C-alpha cells in the first residue's frame, strides 16, 4: 500500500490511477493522517445511479 500526501495526489493523479489499475491500494493523507483510499473497482461491482 502506497501513502501520499494531498499535494502529491493532486499533482500525480494519473500515475496514482495507473498504480491502482495495477492492483495497488493508495492512501491519501493530510498532515500524515490517512483521509482517503484509492482502490481498484472490482469487475463484479455495479454502479447504480449517477455521481452528482
- Classified by CATH at the fold level, domain 2-38 comes out as YefM-like fold (3.40.1620)
Local confidence band at 52 (pLDDT 50, 70, 90 cut-offs): low
pLDDT tens per residue across span 3-47:
999 999 999 999 999 999 999 999 999 999 999 999 998 877 666
d(CA 19, CA 1): 10
What CA–CA distances, in Å, run from 2 to 16, 18, 36? 9, 13, 12
Amino acid at each position: 500500500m502506497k501513502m501520499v500526501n494531498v499535494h502529491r495526489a493532486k499533482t500525480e493523479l494519473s500515475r496514482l490511477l495507473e498504480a491502482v489499475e495495477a492492483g495497488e491500494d493508495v492512501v491519501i493523507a493530510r498532515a500524515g493522517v490517512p483521509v482517503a483510499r484509492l482502490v481498484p473497482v472490482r469487475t463484479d461491482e455495479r454502479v447504480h445511479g449517477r455521481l452528482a
